[in-house]
A and B are shown apart, each in its own frame.
Chain A
Amino acid sequence: MTGLTVTDLRVVYPGRPPVVAVDGVSIEVAPGEVVGLVGESGCGKSTLARAVCGLVAPAEGSVEFDGEPVTPLGLRRRSPGLTRVQMVFQDPYSSLHPRRRVGAQIADGTRAAARLSGADRPAPAEWLERVGLDPGAARRYPHEFSGGQRQRIAIARALAAEPGLLVGDEPISSLDASTQATVAGLMRELTVAAGAGLLFISHDLSVVRLVADRMVVMYRGRIVESGPTAQVWNGPRHPYTQALLGAVPLPDGLGTLPAAPPDDVEYPLEPVLHQ
């Protein structure tokens, strides 16, 4: 089995009572496939992303990448195979090291890839060019760039490690609206071109609609609807998905107030799976 396979994953945070953040989720991301994961705050989508990268330990179930279990990140260097799962975080202000040159940070990714196979790698400058930045920027520091540019650098660093799976946890939510679609599109193009899978997590449904092949909707730690993006977007069948899509305000200039579901409504947890 190649790509990512998550089976019946449960993640529990300790507390009184314990918080079940992810409650029996199964999801697959094949190489070259873009899966969009949507849901509101607290639905468990970030926890799922962190479990996929080994940043939190599952309570039950398994996370496997290319048939190898993803072990929780410890103090020691993880097995080289797992550097093939890379992550792009939400906030490019805290995910880049402020005191290291951008080129050096991208070279970290390149080095991770070189440990797997010794072939020649593109230089950091070339990666910068691929994400649409000036190749001369390699000598500069993160503070010299705007938010959108930094996120491009974070994407370049992740892709330089030649991942088999790229996980983006809200990678566009801290960017200006006008650059969101471009950065999301760039992520898709570069990941698919490299033959890697992309798990794209976002609360912005209109962008997910554009870049994802498959769309997965999470609610209260579970997947409530999943299927090809066009099908889910055009014909949502789960009441929660319907409420979520109905609440998105569209910039069409018509002054249509989005539908507001009542505050205390509880949706069924039975999933709807499109073919």
Chain B
Amino acid sequence: MTEARRTIAGTTVLEIADLRILGPGGREILRGIDLHLVAGRIQGLAGESGSGKTMTALASLGLLPTTLRASGSIRLLGDELLGMRARQWNQVRGRRIAMVFQDPSTSLHPMLSIGAQLTDHARIHLRIGRAEARDRAAGLLARVRVPDPEGALRRYPHQFSGGQRQRIAIACALMCEPEVLIADEPTTALDVTVQAGVLRLLRGLADELGLAVLLVTHDLGVMSAVADDVAVMRAGRVEESGERHQVFTAPRSDYTRALLAALPGSAEGVETLDDVRALVAQEQGKLA
């Protein structure tokens, strides 16, 4: 496997500034997002459903639905991505910015062998031959700890477990040695014991390959385990952003505090049944 194009850890790789997205009828979906993805660090993006986490991720890949209009700036090592044409996006998407989706049983093609899915885009992007691409794919499958990498290339998605499929999807994303990896709820569809393995893998990839990772998740436990920096989104805005430990133990925004207070196991969160009772009573109180 070639060791090309590694960004030096600590460099800002992707810079999202004042990103706004307007929906049909002028509805504001994102209202000015600022995020910095740094090589070797995992930036967590938290928030409830509908807060704009996934829209931020899709905008960074040029995958927004055509009915939406984006403004602001997304720079990849200085190059502006917003407003690029489709052909220019093809040079970035999958090559310099790669994505891992939530559900590996739908993001992998059921009828294509793992080998075909891992090598297709790499052969086009990197202009390498079939043999070289397969070598690279086998190397990556070994890296993400899929057993028997050579044999795995000839097999199909249904022959793997959910956790292994997600590892394969991650290997697929890494084929072109991207600088940025966007993972949208990568462990939500997995069991907790399998999730633990995938989280360890993501952490290892950021540390060893110097990948800048954007981890979108609603699970603050997952966030706490692997993210270096955490941004909490709400209604299209970044409500709070900072280093992980600070956000979890000394949140500055009331919203983050409320979010954490509703979680079992967090520093200030619900710990006993009485805490849950208080939480329920508080909600009923809001109604009255």
Contact = CB atoms under 8 A, between A and B. Distances in A.
A261 interface: yes
Q: Is the contact region of chain B dominated by helix, strand, or loop, or is it mixed?
A: helix
Interface residues of A, number: 45
Given A185-B277, A210-B273, A254-B245, A203 B48 contact: no
A247 B195 contact: yes
A248 interface: yes
A176 B48 contact: yes
Given A244-B192, A253-B224, A258 B219 contact: no
A244 B203 CA distance: 20
Interface string A236-275: 0000000110111111111111111101000000000000
Nearest to A243: B193
A47 B246 CA distance: 43
Given A181-B270, A189-B280, A40 B218 contact: no
Contacts of B192: 40, 203, 205, 244, 247-248, 258
A60 interface: no
Contact residue range for chain B?
A: 35 or more
A35 interface: no
A260 B193 contact: yes
B262 A179 contact: yes
**Residue picked from B199, B249, B265, most chain A C-beta under 10 Å:** B265
Contacts of A207: 264
Contact of B284 (A132, A178, A210, A211): A132
B68 interface: no
B199 A257 contact: yes
A184 interface: yes
B244 A210 contact: no
A209 interface: yes
B219 A177 contact: yes
A15 to B, nearest CB: 16
A263 B147 CA distance: 10
B124 interface: no
B258 interface: yes
A251 B265 contact: yes
A95 interface: no
A147 interface: yes
Interface in B217-276: 218-228, 244-245, 247-249, 258-260, 262-267, 269-270, 272-273, 275-276
Contacts of A258: 192, 195-196, 199, 225
Contacts of A254: 224, 245, 248
Given A132-B284, A132-B287, A210-B273, A176 B248 contact: no
A131 to B, nearest CB: 9
B263 A251 contact: yes
A249 B270 contact: no
B164 interface: yes
A252 B224 contact: yes
A273 to B, nearest CB: 22
A247 B49 CA distance: 25
A251 B276 contact: no
A178 B197 contact: no
A180 B49 CA distance: 13
B161 interface: yes
5 contacts: A40-B191, A147-B49, A206-B221, A249-B195, A261-B196
Interface of B: 48-49, 147, 161-164, 191-197, 199-200, 203, 218-228, 244-245, 247-249, 258-260, 262-267, 269-270, 272-273, 275-277, 279-280, 283-284, 287
